[in-house]
Amino acid sequence: MASDQTRLLLVEDVPQVAQYIRGLLNSQNSVKLLDTLSDGAKVLPQIQQLRPDVVLVDALLQGRVKGLALVEQIAAAGYGVPVIVLTVPQNPVEVDPAKGIHGVLAMPFSGYDLMNRIALVRKDYAEMSTTGSSRIFSVFAPKGGVGKTTIAFNLAVALGQADQRTVLIDGSLQFGDLRSLLKVPLDAPSILDLPTDRVAESDLQDVLWRDPSGIDILLAPPRVEMAEMVTARDIDKILSLLRRVYGAIVIDMSSALSDINLSFLDLSDTIVEIVTYDSTTIHNTIAVADAFRMIGYPASKVRYLINRADSPGGIAPGALEQALGRVPEHRVVSDGLLVVQSNNEGVPFVLANPSAPISVDIQRVAAELLAAHGILRPAAAGRR
């Protein structure tokens, strides 16, 4: 399969037209037809499952969900996939990205017309969707045992719930914390399954773990010694590609300031640093802040999150703020029973119990992070 091959989903209820398009696609290698659907009601689940690069929809589609209504549903679902509308001259349709129509193809058309329109729409959509709206959030802690992986997982799911196409990277490359949390089988693909000489969007499809929560996960290697096979150059290429595909990228970091971790941190838009009311954690946080200053990170790149904020353990909140030299931006309360139960079941607590105070806090953190980058209005950030 070519590295730049376009994955197409066809929605067409006229058998002759579907057969004609399949015939055109059979004679070339640049577009792979994933499936042909005749029922508009089945399209959204298939988009989520198959992750096509482009969807071709017949404007005259009949059934419970009509053609243009389906296009609007695809746009509203926020899957981040461009749609080409197939129509006839008697039923003109205008390109309107605001309504989810990124291209129009009128019958009759040739194989050249079809391939050219697919390639052009995909290219234009990629340019429109590239890094300007994508954000990388590294969830980092200077000490283990502060709930970092649990927060990273639930934060990624909350961002996905906020209409952001989200991928979560298991940045703990040696120990694969997310593999343990989600009970992923040892033979599941990992970051090592991506090519070392090139990384293309099509390569992601067979490597990402698709979590039932709706987010994609790029897993760490299955064994400790395999972490050494990932280089800083690999990280740069992978994040560059993910920025073109996802609106939000969350990295569950390990605590060390290694070359790999510095690559993650350098490329991050925001570092969400976990702090607890624990003297060792506070000491390490101050040390990391000094290291970040030496590296040259601006203070605005780091946003502190107090986990278990309702359990100060004898340390006054003011003392923590004085040690950090600022007021932490985010607070998340504790809920040991819900967290343990959810983690044991491998599900995010923000979905298991969305109304729990800890879930509301994580939802608020997600909204505030998006608001800080101008993706979500500040008023919306406080409304949870």
Max CA-CA distance within the chain? 75
Cα gap 370→213, rounded to integer Å: 20
**Rg for the chain, CA atoms, rounded:** 23
* Residues 74, 151 share a domain: no
State percent of the chain over pLDDT 70.
92
How high is the pLDDT of residue 378?
Answer: 39
* Token output for 250: 């969350």
How high is the pLDDT of residue 196?
Answer: 60
Cα gap 157→150, rounded to integer Å: 11
Cα gap 222→171, rounded to integer Å: 13
Q: How far, CA to CA in Å, does 125 sit from each of 129, 203, 246, 304?
A: 6, 19, 13, 35
* Residues 220, 322 share a domain: yes
Q: Is the pLDDT of residue 365 over 50?
A: yes
Q: Count how many domains the chain has.
A: 2
* Residues 197, 308 share a domain: yes
Cα gap 115→288, rounded to integer Å: 52
* Residues 106, 30 share a domain: yes
* Residues 143, 275 share a domain: yes
Q: What does the pLDDT average to over 301-305?
A: 94
Q: Is the pLDDT of residue 248 over 90?
A: yes
Among 96, 113, 129, the domain-final residue is: 129
* Residues 111, 140 share a domain: no
Q: Where are the beta strands (DSSP E) in 45-131?
A: 54-58, 83-87, 103-106
Q: Is the pLDDT of residue 383 over 60?
A: no
How high is the pLDDT of residue 2?
Answer: 37
Contact 303, 329 (CB under 8 A): yes
* Residues 153, 188 share a domain: yes
Contact 157, 213 (CB under 8 A): yes
Domain that holds residue 275: 135-381
Could you tell me the pTM of the whole model? Answer: 0.65
Q: What does the pLDDT average to over 280-293?
A: 92
pLDDT tens for residues 155-195? 999 999 988 889 999 998 888 888 888 888 888 899 988 87
| Report for 13-17, 45-49, 60-64, 356-360: range of highest mean pLDDT | 356-360
Q: Is the pLDDT of residue 133 over 60?
A: yes
Contact 95, 68 (CB under 8 A): no
How high is the pLDDT of residue 290?
Answer: 93
Cα gap 84→100, rounded to integer Å: 9
Please, which pLDDT band fits residue 377 given cuts at 50, 70 and 90? Answer: very low
How high is the pLDDT of residue 202?
Answer: 64
Q: What does the pLDDT average to over 101-108?
A: 90
Q: Which of 358, 383, 356, 353 minimizes the C-alpha distance to 371?
A: 383
Query: 209 has which bridge partners?
Result: 217
28-61: b (≥16 Cβ within 10 Å) or e: eeebbbbebbbebeebbebbeeebbbbbbbbbbb
How high is the pLDDT of residue 131?
Answer: 46
Among 105, 129, 153, the domain-final residue is: 129
Contact 139, 272 (CB under 8 A): yes
State percent of the chain over pLDDT 90.
47
Q: What does the pLDDT average to over 27-31?
A: 87
Q: Which of 260, 197, 246, 254 minimizes the C-alpha distance to 217?
A: 246
Q: Which helix (H) or strand (E) holds 145?
A: none
Please, which pLDDT band fits residue 132 given cuts at 50, 70 and 90? Answer: low
**Average pLDDT of the chain?**
87
Spell out the residues 6+ positions from residue 374 whose beta carbon is closer than 8 angstroms to its own.
Answer: none
